[in-house]
Structures are given as C-alpha cells and as structure tokens.
Amino acid sequence: MDGLLPIYKPKGVISKDVSRILQKIIGKNHPIGHVGTLDPLAEGVLAIVLGKATRLQDYLLDSKKTYEFRVELGKHTDSLDADGAVLFEKPIVGFSKNQILEALKELTGAYCQVPPLYSAVKWQGKPLYEYARAGRGDEVPLSELSRRIEIYAAELIDYGDHYVTCRIECSKGAYVRVFAYDLCSKLGNYGNVTFLKRIEAAGVSAGKCLHLNEVNSKEDVLSKLLPMEVLETGLSVLHVSQAVEEKLLQGQKQIVAFPPELNKIGYDTAPSDKDILLAGPSQKLFGIGMVIERQELDEMGLNRIVIKLKRGL
C-alpha cells in the first residue's frame, strides 16, 4: 500500500487525528504521513502519504497550495482566527473594492512572512503553540523566525462591509491567517479568519478527495490511492535499464547515455543541483538518485551522466 491518499479533512479535526484514524485502518506498522498541516478550523485537502511514498513527502511539500478564506473585520485574536481569544477590537474602517484589489496586489509575490504564535513552527525544540498555550508567547522572538514564502496569485471572491473572501495560491510555509491579517491591516482594520478551505495540495483538488468519514476499510483506501508514479514531486524521472537498476540498488555508480529529448533532466544546471527519480523498465519508481557527473555531448548527440542512488523506494 504505497502512494498518496487524498483526504478531505472536516473542520474541527487536527491533521494528526486524521493520520491516527487511518493508521488504525491500514495497520500500526505501515508508514504514514501527511503533506502540510491544516488548522483545526480549516477544512479541505489533506494529502496522506502511505508506505514507500512517505520517502517522497519532503518533495511533495514543495508543491503549491490553493486556499479560500473568509476574514471578518473588527477583531484581532491571539490565533488570528475565530478559535482564538479576542485581544483587540475597534470599529470597522470603511473600504472599497479597489482598495482590496490593491492590497491583494501588494501582498502577491515573494517576501518574508512572520509565522503566527499559534503554529507548529518550532523554537528551541518546541512548537510555538506550546509557548502560546502556556502564556509564554512573549519569550518567542517571532521576527527571527520569519521565512521566505511566495504568494503566486491572490483573487477577490466576495466582500461586504464587515468581511472579505479571497482565494490565494501560495508556496509551502505560507500562513493564510497571517496573509489575512496583513490584508486587513492594509485596509486599516483588525480581522480574523472565520472560514478556511484548502482546495488543492500536492497536485490534488478537493473534488478528488475521499471524505474522512468515508474511510472505513483498506478497500476504501485502495479505491482512491494514487500510485507514486503520478505524484507531483517536481522531480525529473530518469528511466534506466534492468541491468542499471540492479547495479544502482547494489550501491554502484552508473553511466547512462541517452538523447536529451527522452528525459527531462536539466542540463543547464549543476549536475548535483537537484535530485531525480529513478524508474526501471517496468515504469515503477525504485529510488531517488543524484547526477554526480555530466559529460559533454558526443558526435552522436548523446548525453552522458553518472548517477548514484541516494535512497531506494
């Protein structure tokens, strides 16, 4: 049972609870993980990786994510969402559609974002939410924990005199709650997220997910399990012969030659710049490899690279 299971997480359930529920179904000794945590308030796509696919988890985390959210204006909470305690409250400052669009434009692009105190980001080995719950949030140097994120697109869906609803596409590490807070700030208001839905993650849309309450058996899992070969890891796939596969699995480095149009290896980058996926003649993935040397094109137009196996699948 190796692959990705797209689950629709309902509101009020934490991501770890989803993994625990599924672990009981597939067996306690079967590897399991999830790609990107969802807040308890959030619903939507939670990509669960099973078996050998857990070894691709870090690559899947790099895929873009798409969210829809609604922010209510007037109150600032400690968690930046409706589940938190209200810290400040003030009358809503009026705004126009053009002001919202301009604010969204300003918040689109790459920049450093400070994570919220109620988050799983760690400081001194502990997640920040533990400091928050213990009333020790003032000990955390949040500004030092800022991370570079990118908002690829931001779209206005709807708005009223006390709310704004948007859709954003973003990189890993981006917090929608912080984006929503920044949006409200640019409009001269406080605000907190009251609705959050992830509609795409790891290349899977919400419409292709199995709802958590629909998973009751291994058969249910298998009915929606996506094989490793179709997962959007962002890695190039290099197909090799049976003999090369066997030698790589034995720990030997191998020279592979092939016409460049047959594989999507980036020859304009450094040979060791990026990992690649390795597949045998059966088309099944068998490992994660690395190009450790590249040779110039010969007169027959063949690329020659030296590869090694970093990790088997």
Residues forming the active site: 39
- Residue 174, class by beta-carbon neighbours within 10 Å (0-12 exposed, 13-18 middle, 19+ buried)? buried
- A 10 A CB-CB count for 167 gives 15
Residue partners of 272: CB distance under 8 A and separation at least 6: 290, 291, 292
| In contact, 277 and 234? CB cutoff 8 Å | no
Q: What is the C-alpha to C-alpha distance for residues 270 and 251, in angstroms, rounded to an integer?
A: 22
Q: Which helix (H) or strand (E) holds 129?
A: helix 128-133
Report residue 222 as tokens: 């298998």
- Residue 306, class by beta-carbon neighbours within 10 Å (0-12 exposed, 13-18 middle, 19+ buried)? middle
